[in-house]
Structure 1
Amino acid sequence: MKGRSIILDHIQGREAAALMVNGKLEDFFIDGDAPLPGTVYRARADRPVKGQGGMFLSTPDGPAFLRQVKGLAPGQMLLVQVTGYAEPGKAIPVTQKLLFKSRYAIATPDAPGLNISRSIRDEEERDRLLEIAHGVLEGASHGMILRSACAGADADEVAEDIEAMADLAAQILADAEGDTEVLTEGDGPHLRAWREWSAPADIYREAGDFEHHGVLDALETTRSIREPLPGGAYLFIESTRALVAVDVNTGNDTSLAAGTKANIACAKHLPRALRLRGLGGQIVIDVAPMPKKDRSTFESALRGALRADSEDTILVGWTNLGNFELQRKRGRTVLADLLT
């Protein structure tokens, strides 16, 4: 199946959304049991954690952990937003830097000013968007970012989105007083798909469309620890409590350049493999044998692939044993924990 398709369906009673590109599963969102990223709480500061510069908070969904808490005292009420998913048994990660994100606009109460995505380079288009935003935001005190999806979008739709995010931000900021409470929930898979997958695509939303469009078959591969690569190489991706281990294998290729080719293929395809599996935290790649002179090529390929990825990932570097380390945001639920 050629082209881009967005399939909205349910699997095992959970809302889910799949992005298929030329018949291949490119991205996948699924509803979990934990609070969704983007959820905003009115929370209460409980106790600081010495040596870590953080504090545990009380929320309606359980304990949360906030970093960088200078000047915050136990018992103080504050607004915080969920930033990702916690490991089992750990507190919900939150931040005081609130963002209200939609398809076309992101309201930024802590960062005044109006900014447009750098991917929109056409000056006439940027001027058009500035005119739309200024017409909606006149007198607004918080900032706004216009996303890349605004390029060529209908002016009324962009204006409506900007106004909705501005109103939501104002409403939440005005509701800082009171006991602990969920002030707004994060976006579920279907709404998140509309928000993030903005490129033109065919949309399917009938029950059973996951099966009809090959999503269920693709998920079977994704749930496996084995990830095939072009050229016959493959990865083993295994999650432990401490880290995610990635082992690069050359397959049946016995040429002198087999290791380098397999590692470059790993670099290009690893972000997708981690994204679909919902894996984050510490990532350790046991690369196939290759000359040290090829390490920079591997890093460049990995950096380029991560640039287009939706989850923030830091390239930490090489270990003394020749492994390569990443630190990746836990922005998704682990697929293997949800689908049995």
Structure 2
Amino acid sequence: MSEEILINVTPQETRVAMVENGVLQEVFIERERSLGLVGNIYKGVVCRVLPGMQAAFLDIGLERAAFLHASDIATRDAESEGASTISQLLRDGQELMVQVIKDPLGTKGARLTTHITIPSRYLVFMPYATNVGVSQKIEDETERQRLKQVVLDDAGDEGLGYIVRTAAEGVPDAALRSDMAFLRRLWGAIQERGRQAGAGEMVHEDLPLSKRALRDLVGVEVEKVRVDSRETHASLVRFGEQFVPEVVERLEYYPGERPIFDLYSVEDEIQRALDRKVQLKSGGYLIIDQTEAMTTIDVNTGAYVGHRNLEETIFKTNLEAAQAIARQLRLRNLGGIIIIDFIDMSDEDHKRQVLRALERHLERDHARSHISEVSSLGLVQMTRKRTRESLEHVLCGVCPTCNGRGSLKTPETVVYEIFREILREARQYDAEQLLVLAAHEVVDLLLDEESTSLAELESFIGKPIKFQVESLYTQEQYDVVLM
């Protein structure tokens, strides 16, 4: 598996693309005007406690109040020890240190926790926890024990929590201890800033996207990290030398005339990731629909007819779809509840193989996912952790023409609405004639296929009806004006 990370930097925006074997798998976008908040630590003030929801809203200086659930409140301190309900844990006006775990999504404010975590290259530091864990992706049991013991020995009796990250596999003991010392110093500085900060102020900001990519995404499989900005490349080299020295030799400045994202057709892939339809190589296709509550993915055979029989055709299409779905979830950053409608299979072994294929392809995903079950209707139900906006929500807004419905009334429907409005106006008001303002397609239909109906209507109301094309009107817009 050959991996490369491409970093495209402009003054307004930083984009990071993860490419595996020449194919785009993930893209991260950070804009100067709307920086992500996940990982940032704030001094929040409780503005409303909701006992019925076991939650509270906090002011952390953002446009919308942020949400904190009782389950996300650390209870190690003496004040909250033994407390269980939100009313026992928090009170209006109380100040506390909180961390953002989900960016504001749609109409929802940011999601908070007091279980603060601070990541470094090899570790995640948890000052309010007491356990030491090791990433599940490190499978060698001897190595797991070594890593855990190094952390436990260095932590001593401090009673703080750590998670050993996948990147720590095989690294020397000294590198882990160095990371622990750095994290302890950083936590001390955060605590001091927290004591001095006012309510609603940010206490600690996570790294910018380019540096987070170096810290979180560069594993042993990544051969190159190519950056198209000389200034950012120099900054990443300095950062790498201090925190991730093994990555520095893989950092490469790209000075080419051709945009770096064009080299791997990344721009084209991003455009395709905004389409509902995803074409499969076999001729089958996926239809992906994103709603506020969930994402649905429908698998279709399309033009694929196979070589043997229908069951074999369906099985092959579903196997190909499983791989494509895993990639699309990463590429589009789809999270929350996901319902997949694979083509119905009668063979139980085929069903198991398709599910295993989906699980296998999801293993490379950085976001945690869980396939719950196949429902009685044959639908695969799964969840994928959502911490940031999907690619569509970052790059797109609601269509002003259809207001997010995804469909428009036909010209025929609008014509009949106009006829009803003309009757209504003619009965209510006295006018010499009526003028209809509408879109080109609607006026064309009125004067062509509906001309007979129009003549009958003019005769019925006893008034002439004139028409005017309004080029700025959408297909559904019209006005009936009395003259």
Q: TM-score, normalised by structure 1?
A: 0.87
Residue type of the partner of 2:181? E
- Determine which of 305, 323, 332 is the counterpart of 1:277: 332
Equivalent pair of 2:323/2:357 in contact (CA under 8 Å): yes
Q: Which residue of 1 aligns with 2:378?
A: 322
Residue type of the partner of 1:31? E
Q: Which residue of 1 aligns with 2:69?
A: 67
Deviations, residues 309-336 of structure 1 (Å, cap 9, x unaligned): 2112233434454322223222232212
Q: Which residue of 2 aligns with 1:88?
A: 106
- Determine which of 389, 397, 406 is the counterpart of 1:333: 389
Matched, 1:231 2:282: yes
Per mean C-alpha deviation after superposition, the further-off stretch among 218-227 and 16-25 is 218-227
CA distance in 2, matches of 1:176, 1:298: 50
- Determine which of 352, 364, 371 is the counterpart of 1:296: 352
CA distance 1:327–1:118, shift in 2 (3 Å): closer
Q: Which residue of 1 aligns with 2:474?
A: none
Q: Which residue of 2 aligns with 1:201?
A: 223
Q: Which residue of 1 aligns with 2:481?
A: none
Give the match's secondary structure for 2:186. helix
CA distance in 2, matches of 1:125, 1:318: 36
Matched, 1:160 2:178: yes
Equivalent pair of 2:194/2:203 in contact (CA under 8 Å): no
Per mean C-alpha deviation after superposition, the further-off stretch among 85-94 and 32-41 is 32-41
CA distance 1:229–1:169, shift in 2 (3 Å): farther
> Once the 2 structures are TM-superposed, how far is the Cα of residue 97 of structure 1 from its aligned partner?
1.3
> Once the 2 structures are TM-superposed, how far is the Cα of residue 129 of structure 1 from its aligned partner?
4.4
Q: Which residue of 2 aligns with 1:40?
A: 41
> Once the 2 structures are TM-superposed, how far is the Cα of residue 284 of structure 1 from its aligned partner?
1.9
CA distance in 1, matches of 2:346, 2:140: 43
CA distance in 2, matches of 1:321, 1:120: 37
Q: How big is the alpha-carbon RMSD for the aligned residues of Structure 1 and Structure 2?
A: 2.8
Equivalent pair of 1:271/1:305 in contact (CA under 8 Å): yes
CA distance 1:154–1:42, shift in 2 (3 Å): same
Give the match's secondary structure for 1:303. helix
Q: Which has the higher helix share?
A: 2
Deviations, residues 282-305 of structure 1 (Å, cap 9, x unaligned): 222222122272443333333333
Deviations, residues 144-170 of structure 1 (Å, cap 9, x unaligned): 222121223365544433322222233
CA distance in 2, matches of 1:15, 1:26: 17
Q: Which residue of 1 aligns with 2:20?
A: 21
- Determine which of 149, 169, 179 is the counterpart of 1:151: 169
Unaligned runs of 5+ in 1: none
CA distance in 2, matches of 1:240, 1:126: 41
Q: TM-score, normalised by structure 2?
A: 0.63
Matched, 1:263 2:318: yes
CA distance in 1, matches of 2:206, 2:389: 14
Instruction: Work out the percentage of aligned pairs sharing the same amino acid.
Output: 28
Equivalent pair of 2:105/2:388 in contact (CA under 8 Å): no
CA distance in 1, matches of 2:331, 2:337: 17
> Once the 2 structures are TM-superposed, how far is the Cα of residue 191 of structure 1 from its aligned partner?
1.9
Q: Which residue of 1 aligns with 2:473?
A: none
Equivalent pair of 2:60/2:199 in contact (CA under 8 Å): no
CA distance 1:141–1:50, shift in 2 (3 Å): closer
Equivalent pair of 1:81/1:96 in contact (CA under 8 Å): yes
Equivalent pair of 2:344/2:378 in contact (CA under 8 Å): no
Give the match's secondary structure for 1:244. strand
Matched, 1:51 2:73: no
Matched, 1:305 2:305: no
Equivalent pairs, count: 339
CA distance in 1, matches of 2:52, 2:43: 25
Per mean C-alpha deviation after superposition, the further-off stretch among 205-214 and 85-94 is 205-214
Equivalent pair of 2:23/2:264 in contact (CA under 8 Å): no
Residue type of the partner of 2:276? I
Q: Specify which structure has the bigger relative contact order, considering alpha-carbon pairs within 8 angstroms and separated by 6 or more residues.
A: 1
CA distance in 2, matches of 1:120, 1:297: 25
CA distance 1:14–1:256, shift in 2 (3 Å): same
Equivalent pair of 2:40/2:99 in contact (CA under 8 Å): yes
Q: Which has the higher strand share?
A: 1
